[in-house]
Amino acid sequence: MKPHLGETTGLNAAMHAGFFLLLAASVARFVAGHGLSGATPLILVLTGALALVYVAGVLSWEALDRWRPVWLTAVIAVWLALVVAAPSFAWCAVPLFFVCLQMLRPRMMIAVVVLLTVATILAQLRIADGFDPSIVLAPIAVALMATMTFLQLDRDRHELGQTVGELLRTRIDLAESQRVAGMVEERERLAREIHDVLAQGLSSLRMLLQAAQRSWDTDPELARAHVSRAVDAAGDNLDEARRFVKGLGSPRLESTGLGETLSALAEQVTFAATHPVRFETSGDPYPLEPEVEACLLRVAQSALANVSEHARATKAAVTLTYLADKVVLDIRDDGVGFAPASTRASGLRGNGLRMIGERVAELGGEMVVESAPGEGTALAVAVPTREAR
């Protein structure tokens, strides 16, 4: 959008000041040359009229609206009358160039600028003692430079407006992309938590209830023990679900360390499944960041759930190893195994391996899977300590 004459800008202020300075200089030159006799009163009246019309239009620019071309016509008409009566007023055409450049469309603007330029040249020729090429060339040069400068500024302003518009659109698109990325990230987080936490919990519940069903008639006490364990597991699972929906850590880690939590998990799986799970630690334990503990617990939950449900193992082992610059978690079983090139055949069915790998990679760790059909499976994840990252 072009700036209008009513705006308070440096260009408009300079243009208005230049117009009145040139108008005052022309009046002073005419009075100095002709005195207060002859045509001077008419010149003064026309000068006052031109100044009044010009000021009135600038001050009431918004109110003029569609009458602005009429105002410009009036200004140019009074100026032309002044130039005919006193050629010294011709140089007031320079600020009028800028008025036309701001108001008119290109074709009409060029026509009016040519009119002002021709009027200026004719006025200067009238008062010249003889023909001087500068009288013709100077007004043309001024008009050409003013026109081209303004057109370039207007083009730059238009391009800047387009650039700003593109930046705003890019900013909106970026904000939308970030919003979508956040939704995808949250969806991935919930998917991992559901897979690693709820799947393990529901698997334990099913095995406990199946064990209770098998022993219901033969050993009621054992069946009640299985049911009691199932109730406790359901409560734990519910607490886990509530906390991961809120993005909180596991309640299992609130009162105990990672080693004790993994030991309790191994005991829980042993009681619910048909195979024992041994847990052991290696190295000197040291405090881990909460996010590392939560990651390793989720990995263990996911892996053990799949071992119990799909691997058909007779035993499994979990080892937590503390090294100087990283902590390593190993889960091994003697189940049916699988071909690592085809994870669909693994106990970690679906997206299990991918989710574990993504969870570990977020902390700068790595995952290694070793397995073969009939030879069991070994899953190892290593997460560096904060100092080693």
Please state whether beta strands 377-384 and 277-282 pair in parallel, antiparallel, or not at all (unpaired): unpaired
Give the count of domains, the chain: 2
Claim to verify: residue 101 and residue 222 sit in the same structural domain: no
Where among 105, 131, 157 does a domain terminate? 131
Claim to verify: residue 114 and residue 242 sit in the same structural domain: no
Burial grade of 239 (CB within 10 A; 0-12, 13-18, 19 or more): middle
Please state whether beta strands 316-322 and 277-282 pair in parallel, antiparallel, or not at all (unpaired): parallel
Claim to verify: residue 125 and residue 272 sit in the same structural domain: no
142 found inside a domain? no
One digit per residue, the tens of pLDDT, for the chain of length 389 reads: 454 565 667 777 888 888 889 888 888 888 877 776 666 788 888 889 999 998 888 888 888 888 888 988 999 999 998 888 888 888 888 888 888 877 888 788 888 888 888 888 888 787 777 777 887 888 888 888 877 877 787 788 888 888 888 888 888 888 778 777 777 776 776 666 666 666 666 777 777 787 778 888 888 887 788 788 778 777 777 776 666 665 545 555 656 789 998 998 888 888 776 689 999 999 999 999 988 998 898 899 888 888 877 788 899 999 999 998 999 999 999 989 888 776 544 444 446 777 888 888 989 999 999 988 888 999 999 999 877 66
pTM: 0.47
367 found inside a domain? yes
Where among 71, 104, 131 does a domain terminate? 131
Q: Name every residue whose Cβ is closer than 8 Å to that of residue 101 and which is 6 or more positions away in sequence.
A: 109, 113, 146, 147, 150, 151, 154
3 state SS of 201: helix
Q: Name every residue whose Cβ is closer than 8 Å to that of residue 378 and which is 6 or more positions away in sequence.
A: 330, 331, 332, 369, 370, 371
CA separation for the pair 220, 32 (Å, rounded): 127
288 found inside a domain? yes
Q: Long-range contacts for 231-240 (Cβ within 8 Å, ≥24 apart)? A: 233/201, 233/204, 233/205, 233/208, 233/268, 233/272, 234/201, 234/205, 236/201, 237/197, 237/198, 237/201, 237/202, 237/205, 240/197, 240/198, 240/201
CA separation for the pair 353, 19 (Å, rounded): 79
Residue 277 dihedral angles phi and psi, to the nearest 5°: -125, 120
138 found inside a domain? no
Claim to verify: residue 28 and residue 91 sit in the same structural domain: yes
Residue 169: its H or E element: helix 133-193
pLDDT on residue 367? 93
271-321 pLDDT, tens digit per residue, is 776 689 999 999 999 999 988 998 898 899 888 888 877 788 899 999 999
pLDDT on residue 347? 43
CA separation for the pair 132, 381 (Å, rounded): 93
Claim to verify: residue 187 and residue 332 sit in the same structural domain: yes
CATH of the domain at 189: 3.30.565.10
pLDDT on residue 321? 95
Where among 74, 99, 131 does a domain terminate? 131
pLDDT on residue 330? 95
306 found inside a domain? yes
CA separation for the pair 223, 211 (Å, rounded): 7
Claim to verify: residue 215 and residue 291 sit in the same structural domain: yes
Of 143, 146, 148, 100, which is closest to residue 120 (Cα–Cα)? Answer: 143
Domain carrying residue 61: 10-131
pLDDT on residue 327? 95
64 found inside a domain? yes
CA separation for the pair 235, 241 (Å, rounded): 10
Q: What does the angle CA 75 – CA 80 – CA 86 come to, to the nearest 5 degrees?
A: 125
CA separation for the pair 189, 291 (Å, rounded): 13
Tell me the residue ranges of DSSP E strands in the chain: 277-282, 316-322, 326-333, 366-371, 377-384
254 found inside a domain? yes
3 state SS of 134: helix
81 found inside a domain? yes
Whether the CB-CB separation of 297 and 200 falls below 8 Å is answered with: no
Claim to verify: residue 215 and residue 331 sit in the same structural domain: yes
pLDDT on residue 244? 61
76-97 pLDDT, tens digit per residue, is 999 998 888 888 888 888 888 8
Sign of CA dihedral 30, 34, 39, 44: positive
CA separation for the pair 388, 326 (Å, rounded): 8
Whether the CB-CB separation of 272 and 234 falls below 8 Å is answered with: no
